[in-house]
Amino acid sequence: MKPFPRAHFTVVMALLLALALGSGCGSAGVNKGDFNLMSLQDEWALGQKLAADIERQLPLSQDQAVVGYVNQVGQRIVRHTEMAQMPWTFHVVNDPAINAFAIPGGHVYVNTGLIAAADSVSELAGVMAHEINHGVARHSTEQLSKAYGLEILASLVLGQNPAAYQTILAQIIGGGALARFSRDAENEADVLGVRSMYQAGYDPRGMASMFEELLSREKRSPSSVQRFFSTHPLTADRITKVMAEAQKLPARGDLITDDPNYQAIRRQISS
Ligand SMILES: [Zn+2]
């Protein structure tokens, strides 16, 4: 058999590379056809490493009643997403700024300031469902894929690129998220969030009323919501879409708007 001519060899290598890259794309459900160079397994491993470093740098709450409650709301919502089988972790940050964020690999952070600002548990669940679905739709690793490319991502996962890793960690610590999400990513997290909070039994109108609260605070006191707005562009138009999405769902008499245990948690964080 004749050896492959060099040109053919290059074509074959290019095809193999395309196949390898293709396997990294989100292939099912909400991620079908999306460009993502990181496997789900690598994303979860990177998330573990980031979460360990965040724990050393952010003042995480050790109050088991507060963390336990937030975790319970989060796990309830997660069970109604495509990533119900993955291990998710919910953290509370002792920080009066109104913010919540998700990092790759199923770690979601909620500031005590957000809990203080969310008047009912359905409002808290609204922001959490939005953050959870940024994770389910893998928006952070999609952005990393566009920004860094295959080589740097592979070295990042293997722990061989401390400079890129420190840049990402600093962005999360300083900005409360990896990057500014696009309008499309925001709309996707809203729509998926409305559906999963409704299926979990929370009144999905809570997401719209929380967003209204955030918009009104942005007018009154922009610095209190600055980090949330810098990563999640929020407009009146988005709130209208969230309400329309919530109204498409069949009426249910058993949806939770508030819960006395939630109000007890809010008193606890403000004391
Ligand atoms: Zn968002």
From the list 43, 55, 123, 131, the catalytic residue is: 131
Q: Which residues pair with 101 in a beta bridge?
A: 109
Which two structure tokens, joined as six digits, stand for 209?
A: 């009323």
Q: Which residues pair with 89 in a beta bridge?
A: 107
Of the candidates 153, 194, 190, 177, the one whose C-alpha atom is nearest the C-alpha of residue 228 is 177
Q: Is pTM, for the whole model, over 0.85? A: yes
Q: How far is CA 1 from CA 4, 5, 11, in A?
A: 9, 12, 19
Q: What residues have their beta carbon closer than 5 A to ion ligand 1?
A: 181, 186, 189, 232
d(CA 154, CA 152): 5
d(CA 113, CA 69): 15
pLDDT in tens, the chain (271 residues): 444 445 554 444 444 444 444 444 445 789 988 999 999 999 999 999 999 999 999 999 999 999 999 999 999 999 999 999 999 999 999 999 999 999 999 999 999 999 999 999 999 999 999 999 999 999 999 999 988 888 999 899 889 999 999 999 998 888 766 777 888 999 999 999 999 999 999 999 999 999 999 999 999 999 989 888 888 888 899 999 999 999 999 999 999 999 999 999 999 998 8
d(CA 234, CA 237): 8
Query: What is the whole-number distance in angstroms between the Cα of residue 114 and the centre of ligand 1?
Result: 14
Which two structure tokens, joined as six digits, stand for 134?
A: 């940024």
Annotated catalytic residue 55: no
Q: How far is CA 238 from CA 161, 215, 229, in A?
A: 38, 11, 13
